[in-house]
Chain A
Amino acid sequence: MEKTKVFVGLGSCGIAAGAQDVFNYLDEKIDTQVSELEVTSCVGMCYAEPVVEIERGGKRVRYGYVDKKFADEIIQSLEDGVFPDKNIITETDAGKAYLDRQVKIVLKNCGIINPESIDEYLKAGGYEAIKKAMHDYTPAEIIEIVKQSGLRGRGGAGFLTGQKWSFLAGAKGDKKFLVCNADEGDPGAFMDRSVLEGDPHKVIEGMLVASYATGAGEGVVYCRAEYPLAIKRLNKAIKDAEDRHFLGDNILGTDFSFHLHVKEGAGAFVCGEETALMASIEGKRGFPRLRPPFPAESGIQHSPTNINNVETYANISYIILNGADAYNKYSFKKSYGTKVFALAGKIKRGGLIEVPMGLTIGEIVEEIGGGTDSGRPVKAVQMGGPAGGCIPARMFDTPIDYDSINATGAIMGSGGLVVMDDKTCMVDVARYFLAFTQKESCGKCTFCRIGTKRMLEILTRITEGKGVPEDLDRLEELAHHVQKTSLCGLGQLAPNPVLTTLKYFREEYEAHIYDKKCPAGVCKPLITIRIISDNCTGCTACARVCPVHAISGEVKKPHTIDPDVCTRCGLCIETCNFNAIEVV
C-alpha cells in the first residue's frame, strides 16, 4: 500500500514559529508503516506557520497553526486513514484570498518539494531547461529568448537581463565570471532567503543557462552570512548537482563546464551594490567604484563578469521551457512576468507572495494580505527598503510595474513590502531608514558620509520635538545633494524614504515641529502615557512591570502614572489587559 506523506515546512521562519519542534514530535510518534515524514520549505503562508501538508491518493491538503496538540490529531487521523478536517488553510475564504491572485513561477516548488533532494527537483521537471537550452538552442538564441521575455533584474534596478547577458557574451577574455547576488540586505525583505532555502536547484539551473549563454566558466553565489540555512542547502545542492554532472567539467557529457561555489558575506549592506560586491569577493573592503568600466568589461580579477539577483536566475528555467511568450503573458506596460514580495509589517496575512505585474498595491495589501492585523486603517506601504519610499494609502491603485512604482518616488526594489497603519509615525520611519543607510554608508563619498549624518541629526531633532521650521527645507536641500553627488545606489537612493514621506506626509512633520506632537503616538519625547481611570481595575499589573516605578495606586482602585518619572517605554500598555492605558 502506498504510504501517506506528511510534509513539514522547514524554512527559517517556519522553524522560528515552531515547525522543527512539530517535525521532531511527528518524527518520534508517527507510524512509519503507514506514513512517511518529509521535509519541505516555506510555502509562503507565513502567517499560518507552522504548516504541515498531508498527501494521500493524489490528494494533498495543507494545514496551518500546527502545535503539538494538533500534531496528535494528525497522528490519530493518519492511523485512521482520514484527513483531519480542521485548520485547513487553503480552502477557507482567507486562504483563497491569499492564494487566488498569485501566479507561481519563481516559487513554484517552494514548500512543495524537499529542497535538499535533487531527485525531487528532477521529478518536478528540474534540469530540463538546461538540457533543452543545450540541445535546442545556440547561446545567442538563449540570449534572444531572455531578451524577448522582457525579464528585468529583480534585485531592484530593473535592467534588462537578456541585454546584460549579451554584454558578457560579447566581452573578450579567457575567463568570465557569473555572480548570483544573494546579499539580501534590505531590512524587511526575505525573498531570496526563501528561494534559496526552498528551491536552491532552480537558482543553480538559472545560472547554468546563463553560463551556457554567456561563456562564463566560473560562478559565485554571494550570500548573506545571516542566512545559515540557505547557505547549507545551497552547498548541498551544488554538491548534488556536481555528483550528477550538472555542474563541474563536461556537463551532461559535453565539453561545457561550469564551476560554482558559495561565498559568505560578512555583513555590509553596501555589498549589495555590484562593484562593492566584487571587491568583497576579492577579499577587500566593500567599496563601490566608478562605472565604466562596467563589470561586463572588467569585473572580478579584471575579468568580464555578470551579476544577477537570486530571483532573476530563478525565472530562467521557466522562460526556457515555456518560451518568452508564455512568460510575458503576464505583463503590464514595460514590466513582464511576476514579482515576489515579502509582505510584512502590520498586516493580517504576511508571508511570501508572487504576483503578476499589474496587480495594484491595494489588491496586494487588502485582498491578499487582508488589511492590517490590528484592524486599524492602513496608512502606507514601504517599498524597496532603505532605498525605497513610502506610498500612501490614497495611491493604492498604483499598479505593480517598474515605471509606475518609480513615478511615486519609491522603487520596486528587491521586493520588501512593509505595511504601516495609523500607529506608525512616518517621521520615525524616515529616521529609521536614514539611521540604517547612515550606518551602512561605506564613507567613500563625502555627501553620503556626512550628508546622511546631518540629515539624521535633523530627523532625530524633529522626533525629539526640537525641530524648527527651517529644518524641512534643509532636509530637502541636503537630500538632493546626497542624491546627486553619491557614487553608488546606496547614497543616490538613501534620501528616498525622507523625500517620499515629506511629499506625502508633510503634515506629520509639521505636527512634530509646530505642535510638538506625534500624531501616531510613537516619538517618546512628544507623547504622554496615561491611565484611563474608567477602564482601570486596579489589578496592579502595570505598576509591577514599570521599570522606573512611575505608576502608583491602591489595589482595586484606578492607578496613575507620574509623567515626570515615566520614560514612555510602553511596557505598561503591553501588559494591561483592560485597554486602560493610552498614549496622548
Chain B
Amino acid sequence: MGLKTIDRAVRDEAKDIVREIGAEQEKVIPLLQEIQKRHSYLPEDLVEAVAQEIDVPVSDIYGVATFYSQFRFTPMGKHLIKVCKGTACHVQGADLLASALQEELGLDGEGTTDDMNFTLETVACLGCCSLAPVVMIDGKVYGKLTSAKVKKLIKGYSDGKN
C-alpha cells in the first residue's frame, strides 16, 4: 500500500498553509483552524497533505481534530446557525428554539440541509446570557428570540434579505 495520491494543487495549498502558520507540534491546532477558515471544514486530502508537510502522522492530527468541537469534517452550508445551549438560554427555552429551527430546516438534530443552504450547530455558550435565548447566524447574534421570531429570521436568510 502506497501513499494516497493527492492533487498537486492541494499539496501546494498545504505548503502555503504551513509556511504561513509554522510546522512545529504546537502549531497543529492553528494549522487546523487555518484549514477550516479557508474551507469551512477539514477536507481529508488537505489534512493529509499538511500532516505530511509537517511530518506528523495523520492519525495524530485526527486525534487532535476530533477532540475539539470546533472542527467539522463535512462541508458547511452557506449560512451557519449556532443555537446557544448555555444555562441562561436553557432555562429561557433554548430547546424550543432548537426544535423550531429543526422543523423549519427539515433537519433531525444538528447537520446541514440538503440544499447546502444552512448548517445547524449547537454551542455551549455564546456569553450573551442577558439576551437569552440567543442564536448566532453567520457570526451575528440575535437575542430574546421566540420560535416564531427565529423562523422569520431563517426565512429572511433563505430569501437573501438578511
Contacts and interface: CB of A to CB of B under 8 A. Distances in A.
Interface of A: 12-13, 15-17, 46-47, 49, 184-190, 193, 225-228, 263-269, 280-286, 342-346, 350-351, 382, 385, 416, 418, 420, 424, 429, 432-433, 436, 440, 442, 545, 547, 569-571, 574-575
Closest 10 CB pairs of A and B: A188-B87, A344-B129, A46-B130, A190-B127, A16-B141, A266-B68, A187-B86, A283-B28, A267-B69, A350-B130
A283 B127 contact: no
B70 A266 contact: yes
B116 interface: no
B91 A429 contact: yes
Given A190-B128, A282-B25, A344-B129, A424 B64 contact: no
A418 B86 CA distance: 10
Contact of B29 (A47, A280, A342): A280
Given A12-B127, A266-B71, A283-B26, A570 B87 contact: no
A574 B147 contact: yes
Interface size class of B (residues with CB under 8 A): 35 or more
B96 A570 contact: yes
Contacts of A265: 68, 70
B58 interface: no
B130 A266 contact: no
Given A46-B130, A46-B131, A268-B67, A187 B85 contact: yes
Given A15-B141, A283-B29, A227 B127 contact: yes
18 contacts: A15-B141, A47-B130, A185-B125, A187-B85, A187-B87, A189-B125, A190-B125, A193-B127, A225-B70, A226-B125, A282-B26, A283-B28, A285-B67, A342-B127, A342-B129, A345-B87, A432-B90, A440-B124
A442 B30 CA distance: 20
Contacts of B87: 187-188, 344-345, 382, 385, 416, 418, 432-433
Given A189-B127, A266-B32, A283 B24 contact: yes
Contacts of B93: 570
A350 B24 contact: no
B141 A269 contact: no
Contacts of B130: 13, 46-47, 49, 343-344, 350-351
Interface string B132-156: 1010000111110011100000000
A527 to B, nearest CB: 14
Given A46-B130, A283-B24, A574-B96, A547 B103 contact: yes
B39 interface: no
Contact of A269 (B30, B92, B124): B124
B64 A284 contact: yes
A185 B127 contact: no
